[in-house]
């Protein structure tokens, strides 16, 4: 079925870069304050929040440079351009978050076994400051996160950290009121669980693009059907559908032109390209035309090889 695609309101690159830069600055300053406060107060939850906040800053640094690299034009070394630098950055950031989440679980288990004393007031004050900074950073990157997987990864770092700060404030309050030391590692476990849940939910998208997977919002069978329904097309095979970048889809396929219509091959190919653009927002299409009488025989509709040839190589035995 046809698909509708809505664009995003894009910020100009310089404005976006400035927002990311200032988000890095405030996060680095907060990290120093949180680590110092965590050590002085003895709170693992606050140190966990600080470590995660440091990952926020590093994520934003990676995102900042990835944005710069991604805008470079294609050249002889990177003929597709550098747009996937942002996807690589997102993968690095999500992987880092997973490692941090697992480490925090380990540390929290040790604290559950051997609870430590915690200065509740210091924890609450520093976590309150952290919450304000996290909210400010999230606001700086929110609009950018809608159009970039790279910035979305950094934005999710900040959202997770803001929730972590709220949890730390809650823990510090219980320590002040009831001296309940176990709440510190329990909150740490909650922060870690959220980090892991978000990371595993988002990392698949980056891996899918890097593995040349088809766009998740497009049904490949729909694309095949709509291409085959163009007047003059006898068949479509050897189709490859992938994401060149997060918002740029591409198709590569063989078009079999109906018998007697070879003189219209260029017009038919153009009609197929127009349909791909109009209905699926696929602007990059490489189509090889074949006369129906001499087209590939027993060809796989998707990928190379034959329908039952799973390793991608045609069987030449007779």
- Which tens digits make up the pLDDT trace of 64-80? 788 788 888 888 888 88
CA angle, 70 then 146 then 283, to 5°: 60
Percent of the chain with pLDDT over 70: 87
Predicted pLDDT at 306: 60
3-state secondary structure of 135: helix
Encode pLDDT of 98-142 as tens digits: 888 898 888 888 888 877 677 778 888 888 888 888 787 777 777
Q: What is the pLDDT of residue 311?
A: 44
The secondary element (H helix, E strand) that includes residue 47 is: helix 44-70
Per-residue model confidence as pLDDT tens digits over 148-202: 766 777 777 777 777 778 888 888 888 888 888 788 888 888 888 888 888 898 8
Task: Look at residue 161 in the predicted model and tell me its pLDDT.
Answer: 73
Indicate the pTM of the whole model.
0.70
What the chain holds in terms of domains, given with CATH numbers, is 13-210 (1.20.1510.10), 220-294 (3.30.70.1350)
The answer, yes or no, to whether residue 267 has pLDDT greater than 90, is yes
Residue whose tokens read 């153009």: 270
d(Cα 259, Cα 301) in Å, to the nearest integer? 20
The sheet with strand 233-245 has its strands ordered as 233-245, 248-257, 284-291
Query: What's the rounded mean pLDDT across residues 34-52?
Result: 76
Q: Considering Cα of 53, then 54, then 55, then 60, what sign does the dihedral take?
A: positive
258 C-beta neighbours (distance < 10 Å), count: 17
- Name the β-bridge partners of 250: 242, 284
């Amino acid at each position: 079925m046809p698909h509708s695609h809505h664009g995003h309101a894009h910020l100009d690159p310089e404005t976006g870069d400035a927002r990311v830069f200032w988000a890095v600055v405030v996060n680095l300053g907060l990290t120093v304050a949180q680590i110092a406060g965590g050590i002085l107060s003895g709170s693992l939850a606050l140190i966990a929040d600080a470590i995660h906040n440091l990952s926020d800053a590093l994520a934003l640094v990676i995102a900042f440079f990835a944005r710069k690299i991604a805008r470079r034009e294609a050249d002889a070394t990177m003929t597709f351009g550098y747009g996937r630098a942002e996807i690589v950055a997102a993968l690095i950031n999500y992987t880092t978050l997973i490692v941090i989440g697992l480490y925090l679980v380990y540390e929290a288990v040790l604290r559950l076994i051997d609870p430590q004393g915690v200065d509740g007031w210091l924890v609450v004050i520093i976590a309150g400051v952290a919450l304000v900074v996290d909210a400010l950073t999230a606001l700086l990157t929110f609009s950018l996160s809608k159009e970039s997987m790279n910035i979305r990864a950094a934005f999710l770092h900040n959202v997770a950290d803001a929730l972590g700060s709220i949890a730390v404030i809650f823990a510090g309050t219980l320590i002040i009121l009831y001296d309940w030391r176990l709440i510190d590692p329990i909150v740490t476990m909650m922060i870690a669980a959220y980090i892991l849940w978000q990371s595993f939910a988002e990392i698949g998208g980056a891996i899918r693009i890097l593995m040349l997977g088809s766009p998740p919002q497009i049904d490949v069978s729909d694309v095949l059907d709509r291409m085959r329904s163009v007047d003059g097309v006898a068949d479509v095979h050897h189709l490859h559908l992938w994401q060149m970048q997060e918002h740029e889809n591409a198709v590569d396929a063989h078009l079999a032109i109906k018998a007697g219509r070879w003189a219209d091959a260029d017009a038919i190919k153009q009609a197929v390209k127009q349909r791909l653009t109009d209905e699926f927002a696929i602007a990059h299409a490489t189509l090889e035309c074949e006369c129906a009488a001499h087209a590939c025989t027993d060809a796989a509709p998707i990928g190379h090889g034959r329908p039952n040839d799973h390793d991608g190589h045609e069987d030449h035995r007779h």
